[in-house]
Amino acid sequence: MRAYANGDSTMKQHAPQESCPCGTTQPYEACCGPYLSGELVAGTAEQLMRSRYCGFVYRNEDYLLTTWHPQTRPSRVRFDERQHWLGLSIRETHPGSDDDREAFVEFIARFKVNGKGHRLHENSRFKKIDGIWYYVNGEFL
Ligand SMILES: [Zn+2]
């Protein structure tokens, strides 16, 4: 008896052809994957926002902490085992007062807890340090 009925032992958390959890039509490997694996650094606040959402979906604590602004970074990220992320939609992205070094991304993330649907509507603030974007904090809307 094999462990997998279909005999595919290379099965991963996400199939290559599956579109990225962040809501684009691209596969994860061509979208947020390279950011979470550390191959690339997000070039825009929106890219960072999308990749951090994937960080929550895949419970990648290291990535979330690495991309958190040092001034607001927690010592660890606690994931709720009951929380299942369903999708992300970016509403608006706009620069902050500090032009190209600050940006805001308004989004709605949907998730389920114990079969019940919820929406997280937040305006997240991002700041750049030495050319790299970091998540600072968010305001619930
Ligand atoms: Zn993505």
If you measure from the C-alpha of residue 2 to the centroid of ligand 1, how many angstroms do you get, rounded to a whole number? 34
If you measure from the C-alpha of residue 33 to the centroid of ligand 1, how many angstroms do you get, rounded to a whole number? 7
Amino acid at the residue 29? E
If you measure from the C-alpha of residue 99 to the centroid of ligand 1, how many angstroms do you get, rounded to a whole number? 25
> Residue 124 and residue 121: Cα distance in Å, rounded?
10
If you measure from the C-alpha of residue 40 to the centroid of ligand 1, how many angstroms do you get, rounded to a whole number? 13
pLDDT single digits (tens) 74-109 = 999 999 999 999 999 999 999 887 767 999 999 999
Residue 8 has pLDDT above 60, yes or no: no
| Helix then strand then coil, % of the chain, to nearest 5 | 20, 40, 45
pLDDT single digits (tens) 122-137 = 999 999 999 999 999 9
Tell me how far CA of residue 126 lies from CA of 10, 29, 44, 66, in angstroms. Answer: 37, 24, 9, 13
pLDDT single digits (tens) 10-40 = 444 555 567 999 999 999 999 999 999 999 9
If you measure from the C-alpha of residue 70 to the centroid of ligand 1, how many angstroms do you get, rounded to a whole number? 24
Contacts of 80 (CB under 8 A, 6+ apart): 113
> Residue 89 and residue 115: Cα distance in Å, rounded?
21
If you measure from the C-alpha of residue 3 to the centroid of ligand 1, how many angstroms do you get, rounded to a whole number? 31
CATH label, 28-140, candidates 3.90.1170.40, 1.10.540.10, 3.40.50.800, 3.10.450.50: 3.10.450.50
Cβ atoms 96, 105 nearer than 8 A: no
Tell me how far CA of residue 14 lies from CA of 29, 33, 37, 72, 93, in angstroms. Answer: 10, 11, 14, 31, 28
Domain range annotation of the chain: 28-140
pTM of the model: 0.86
If you measure from the C-alpha of residue 1 to the centroid of ligand 1, how many angstroms do you get, rounded to a whole number? 37
